[in-house]
A and B are shown apart, each in its own frame.
Chain A
Amino acid sequence: MKSREVVCVLCPLGCKIRIELDEEGNILSVSGNRCPRGKKYAEDEIKDPKRVVTTSVKVLNGELPLASVKTDGPIPKKYIFELMKILKDVKVKAPVNIGDVVVRNIFKTNVNVVITRSVGEKTSGN
């Protein structure tokens, strides 16, 4: 039997979660998590670690040059830099509002990239 300890990143509590594995790497038990989300997180850490990604996209004709975005759910860690590459070329046109979808179903994960900062149109004279 093997075991691994992971720190849950889902909230500031940062639970230290212990996972017991059999010889084939199957999960036998999960302990130390203070909520059910932690159990799922720990299982993902063993199988396919996932993260929510936050960054920005460019805004055309906006009062600000950028609108911040996030993935509306965790995506596999291995996709993070690929996502950054895709978003580097994404430009949205002002106005944009919180929750607007920028990229739908990214990497076929059922996760969308959504706006987290509303940006209005540039007012004339600027």
Chain B
Amino acid sequence: MKNVDVLVIGAGAAGMAAALAAAEQGAKVLLVEREDRAGGILNQCIHNGFGLHYFKRELTGPEYAEIFREKLERSGIDTCVEKFVLEVDVKKREVIVVSKKGIEKIHPKSLILATGARERPFGSLLIPGDRPSGIYTAGVVQRLINIENRLPGKRALILGSGDIGLIMARRLTLEGMEVVGVVERLPYPGGLLRNVVQCLEDFDIPLFLSSTVVEVRGKERLEEVVVASVDEKYNPIPGTERIFKVDTLVLSVGLIPQVELVSDFVEIDRSSKGFAVSNTGQTSVSWIFAAGNSTVIYDLVDYVTYEGEIAGRSAVRYIDGKDVGRARVNVEAGENIGILFPKWFDPLEDLTMYIRVRKPIEKGILIVEGVLERKIENLVPSEMIRIKIPKSRINASEKLKVFIKEE
């Protein structure tokens, strides 16, 4: 048995930031990671565009991760890799971890969940046809190419135009695969415009909007993918089918926060499907905090780092008995809001909100009732808005309502 102040599960961007922030407050911190090195998904994101907010310069994923790994080494934080959490016993405040050395019980005063997200798998899409090899999620392909030095196939189609899908289209092309196109169900691309330009247009890769995969065929290896146009309700339109002869189908169809470990007793947010937390990172269980993609899927790792730091700091403040979570109020999503983070406002911290609109909005006013009104333009669900409101400006005794009025 081991006693620590703060146990952090997951050494990705959120977990590393949380562990460092907690240690800075003087806490004894244990950081547990299932992979063989800290860094999380950053390790395989070798493209650039990270760190513009947090470091004010542009970094690749591995560079961003390495800065934090070095900080961890200097911090004296006990970082355990190749360790997997089996169970969290909420009543005993006990966490059971397993590694090559065996099973260990840890008793933390506070727990921070930084478990990230998983990719939506092929099985959940219910696409008819055969079940051959050659169908991958984008993150798996990214790992094969960028970490393991393996190519998944020769000719690929990509389903889903989120940023990961777009970035993998470019990556596969650079490594010598032929990418015949990116298929997107929505009438607009899911990823950032800059990625449509630098990942698709630069390489003449076609983007098929309002289209989806309706069948996959292949005996052992994938041979054909059937794509059809869809109507406004995303139903395939008969007669529009066309066949792509590819041996590889790459899925970039969304991320799902990884919450299974404790979802029996920690409240899950209905819109984000991640842990419901307050602006301190505190979950519905007072001693358990969460940060990063396990709470809401972020656009930028910089935001994940900020929220990780808040959770780390707040976990220590909680241990010290300083009122974390005693006076929090609901933050409620209204009209036109798709995703809203956080779930509760705790007046101990400033309120940083992350919002995704429910549908594209050309012009509107974002309203935080009684606190703030802000004009917005050209918003799409794939772009997250971040709004910071000082705690002194919020006088909320009941609830904070957030909505967007279209103009």
Contact = CB atoms under 8 A, between A and B. Distances in A.
Interface stretch (A7-15, A20-28, A105-113): A7-15
Given A12-B299, A51-B202, A77-B202, A66 B146 contact: yes
B103 interface: no
Interface string B140-175: 000000111100000000000000000000000011
Interface stretch (B43-51, B122-130, B213-221): B43-51
A55 interface: yes
Contacts of B174: 53, 55, 80-81, 84
B192 A116 contact: no
A106 B196 CA distance: 27
Contacts of A98: 62-63, 66
A58 B148 CA distance: 10
B271 interface: no
Nearest to A118: B66
Contacts of A51: 198, 202
A70 interface: yes
A65 interface: yes
Contacts of B300: 12
Contacts of B175: 55, 84
Nearest to B384: A12
B197 A7 contact: yes
Interface in A46-85: 51-56, 58, 64-66, 68, 70, 77, 80-81, 84
B147 A14 contact: no
Given A51-B202, A77-B202, A116-B62, A56 B146 contact: yes
B60 interface: yes
A18 interface: no
A65 B146 contact: no
B327 interface: no
B44 to A, nearest CB: 9
Contacts of B388: none
Interface in B252-296: none
Contacts of A65: 148-149
A32 B175 CA distance: 34
Contacts of A64: 147
Contacts of A55: 46, 174-175
Given A52-B48, A65-B149, A68-B46, A117 B197 contact: no
B149 A58 contact: yes
A65 B43 CA distance: 14
Contacts of A9: 194-195, 197-198
Interface in B185-203: 192-198, 202
Contacts of A10: 58, 194
A116 B149 CA distance: 16
A98 B66 CA distance: 9
Contacts of A6: 197
Interface in B50-66: 52, 58, 60, 62-63, 66
Contacts of B66: 98, 117-118
Contacts of B149: 56, 58, 65-66
B198 A12 contact: no
A54 B46 contact: yes
Contacts of B148: 65-66
A68 B62 contact: yes
Given A7-B197, A68-B46, A77-B202, A14 B192 contact: yes
Contacts of B195: 9
B60 A12 contact: no
A55 B60 CA distance: 10
A54 B198 contact: no
A54 B299 CA distance: 20
A118 B63 CA distance: 9
A116 B51 CA distance: 14
A12 B194 contact: yes
Interface of A: 6-12, 14, 16, 51-56, 58, 64-66, 68, 70, 77, 80-81, 84, 98, 116-118
5 contacts: A11-B52, A12-B49, A12-B299, A51-B198, A98-B62
Given A14-B197, A65-B148, A66-B149, 12 more contacts: A8-B194, A9-B198, A12-B300, A16-B193, A53-B174, A58-B149, A70-B48, A77-B202, A116-B63, A117-B43, A117-B46, A118-B66
